[in-house]
Chains A and B, each alone.
Chain A
Amino acid sequence: MGVDNSLRLDDFRKNLRVEVVRLTEDDIEFDLIGIDASLANAFRRILIAELPTIAIEKVLIANNTSVIQDEVLAHRLGLIPLQVDPRLFEYISENDIPNEKNTIVFKLHARCEKGGPRSTVKSDELKWLPNGSEFLLATENSASNTASKQKTYTSFSSSQDSLPEFSNNPIAPKYPDIIIAKLGPGQEIELEAHAVKGMGKTHAKWSPVATAWYRMLPEVVLLQEVKGVKAEELVNKCPVKVFDIEDIGKGGKRANVARPRSCTLCRECIRGDGWEKFVALRRVKDHFIFTVESTGALPPEVLFTEAVKILEDKCERVITELS
């Protein structure tokens, strides 16, 4: 029993190759070779829908006299990417009390002076409140108003900037120049936004990737030798210069496939009479060129590692369910 499986696993371990082509702060392009399409697709689906992120969910609006409606404003706030590691926070469910472990509170108070020019509210005006909500809950008992402790919409027992991760880098939107709203003279927006952890499955604002996709490596095969004038013609046909000319002595020319990776499968090379006999266009079944673009919460290589971890967790859950 174990023998057969371990042989296959050894084959898999021998054949799997990962080559990173490009790695920047925001995106990564890498090749996964020797893996099956179902696994590659599983990673892509998890990257888009099941990696947790933090985004604004509840917006408490105290004053909004701008032309942007409350719900439109709240929707826009939800889509702003926040630069905070979601692994440091917990999920919150319906009946949980918002505390410093599951909620991040932001404040936005913008006013456009009457008689002045129109102003733009950008995302850098969202200020982080490490001590929690500042809006007070309405209480019926007037006697308790004289007491020192007043209840707010969140119950933070400690300040979030006492945590080492946040003490020197405050939580803020990743990009400070996202336009939230535009105000005319005399208009004002005063609100508090609570950000929580969620998954792309529930709403796209919680997707940590701008997008993540893969394509399979194109395979361009010359079925017959293409020589002389035909070779020149072939090289000129291709808009992305997949083919190259090589000299074969006595002034003869032959076309060869130099850059199959840049092929877009536009099929220009087989357009025209008889060209289909010379060129075959296919894809390599187990070579995936992944591109992952992060919105900023986590670096893209960490995102892929987390996605693989989530697939492992799913398997673990099935195993425990079966035992």
Chain B
Amino acid sequence: MEHGSYQDQSKATFSLTDEDHTLANSLRFTLNQDPRVTFCGYSIPHPSDARVNIRVQTTGDAAREVLKDSCQDLMLMCQHVRSTFDQAVLDFKNQKNLEAVNIK
């Protein structure tokens, strides 16, 4: 749900349901990395409701597009973390196997 102005698309508050600090803080971090963003923050109106308000203000681009791009960036970062981790686990297992063979 987007709360903003039809005239000024660069400032909006996005209200996401069924979300909490897990996604909101990560999104806030990636939003801050984007140079088009002048202000971004998130709040949780009430801890019993699973709802997060993310406020995005940009230098002119539509806030919705900037948020979408940040989500994409976060997805790419996650994919990279996953592949690096899988590679590290494989390397560790191979190294253990090599050590076991050497000991024998």
Contact = CB atoms under 8 A, between A and B. Distances in A.
Interface in B29-75: 29, 33-36, 61, 64, 67-69, 71-75
Contact of B68 (A42, A46, A312, A319): A319
B89 A42 contact: no
Interface stretch (A5-13, A63-71, A149-157, A160-168): A5-13
A62 interface: no
A236 interface: no
Nearest to B50: A201
B34 A16 contact: no
Contacts of A315: 23, 27, 71-72, 74-75, 78
Interface string A7-48: 011001100111110010000101010011011011001100
A308 interface: yes
A322 B81 contact: no
A94 interface: no
B73 A9 contact: yes
Contacts of A308: 78, 81-82, 85
B16 interface: yes
A15 to B, nearest CB: 11
Given A39-B26, A45-B21, A315-B71, A4 B34 contact: yes
Contacts of A9: 73, 76-77, 80
B98 interface: no
B-side interface size class = 35 or more
B36 A311 contact: no
Given A1-B69, A8-B33, A323-B68, A318 B78 contact: no
A30 B84 CA distance: 12
B24 to A, nearest CB: 9
B8 interface: no
A23 B35 contact: no
Interface residues of A, number: 40
A35 B82 CA distance: 13
B28 interface: yes
B21 to A, nearest CB: 7
A309 interface: yes
B89 A36 contact: no
Contact of B25 (A4, A41, A316): A41
A1 B82 contact: no
Interface in B74-104: 74-82, 84-89, 91-93, 96
A301 interface: yes
A5 B28 CA distance: 15
A30 B92 CA distance: 10
A311 B82 CA distance: 11
B25 A20 contact: no
Contacts of A19: 88
Interface of A: 1, 4-5, 8-9, 12-13, 16-20, 23, 28, 30, 32, 35-36, 38-39, 41-42, 45-46, 50, 301, 304-305, 308-309, 311-312, 314-316, 318-319, 321-323
24 contacts: A1-B61, A1-B69, A5-B69, A9-B73, A12-B77, A12-B80, A18-B81, A20-B92, A23-B92, A38-B25, A39-B77, A42-B22, A42-B23, A301-B85, A311-B78, A312-B78, A314-B23, A318-B16, A318-B67, A318-B71, A319-B71, A322-B2, A322-B14, A323-B68
